[in-house]
Structure 1
Amino acid sequence: MNSLPPIGITQDIFDHICENIADKGYVVLHNLFPIAELNHLVDNLSQMDTAEFKPAAIGRQKDQQVVEAIRSDRICWLDRTMDFASPYFDWSEQLRLAINRYFFLGLFDYETMFAYYEPGAFYKRHVDAFKGQSNRKLTSILYLNREWQQGDGGELLMYRHDESAPFEIVEPRFGTMVIFLSELFPHEVCQSHKDRYSLTGWYRINEGIPLD
């Protein structure tokens, strides 16, 4: 698997992300990465051994369990030993540094997984981090679905607090990325009607550092 040169990094992009997170708590980005680099990611991810994928669980650490009535995607964790993903990890590291400069959050780590939703798969409404109970502070999702069309399903619905109607619907189009504060927005993945792929990641703080 060959790697590409680093993804283009400009301060304007990181300023835009930080300003939107400060203002709204989230940002939706389109055409952030060059098509060639997205294709490189997809081509290499599609070559991964399906045996490496496992049913996604809910909960964390000792409380983790697989509950397919709530979540039915399959996942594979990525790491920096995967050369093809280096440009994406490098970009994510630059975003971590930019977020820390802007918000003084003390983000120290980034973890990411390749998520696969086969037709019929979904993830019911949930939050990525409960306030004061998790070290996940910022969520990022990069969609890798070539030729996605309306009717294919798999949209991300974002909610405010206990509201029943979503305020934002994000279509999982190729190259779209959404970044949001993990504690702030309940969200769900609608049932997918075709294969759906994404890179989902979390920026974390050290659990030994007080959250307030």
Structure 2
Amino acid sequence: MKSLVTLFILMATVGSAFAQSSFKPGAGLNFTNISGTLDDANGQMGWQAGASVELGNKFYVEPGIFYMTRNVESTSINDGVSSLSDAKFRGFRIPLSIGYNILGNTDSSFGFRVFGGGSAFILSSVSDGYAISDFNNPEWGVFAGVGADISIIFIDLSYQWSLTNVQKNIPGIDLGRTNGVFLTAGFRF
């Protein structure tokens, strides 16, 4: 009997969490910087598109998945001749955030939120002659951010710190870790 009561309470809790949820498809831009020792590598603007689900009301949990690109521009000088190359990293960013609605809640027409959490970036392709096996996969990170909700529109701004170096071991290159700003906008349903 106790197990049936426990199961009922668990189902009611999970059901109420899903009853107070928002599906959030969105797209946006990311601006990545590189912390390595390579002086001539700079992060460039990329983009992301995907969706998340906000579960909860005042406090919430928000898992998501976004396809994204991250771009790095590097300049090398050999025998006085400089060459420019761009590396494009494509993959899936899987964030899991915990947040709090400071103003409003999941059902409000207007809201202001703070959130933070962790993410994994799973590399699916890289350009410029490198192999996926040259890079750490997945690449782990932590982030913090703010968000605003106006009717069915949301805007999120977050900053992420990488916990993993970008590459495993490429002779002569130390890209280090990435840090980045993510700006995402979309709709709440």
When the two structures are superposed, what TM-score results if normalisation uses the length of structure 1? 0.23
Q: Which has the higher contact order (CA 8 A, sep 6+)?
A: 1
More strand by share: 2
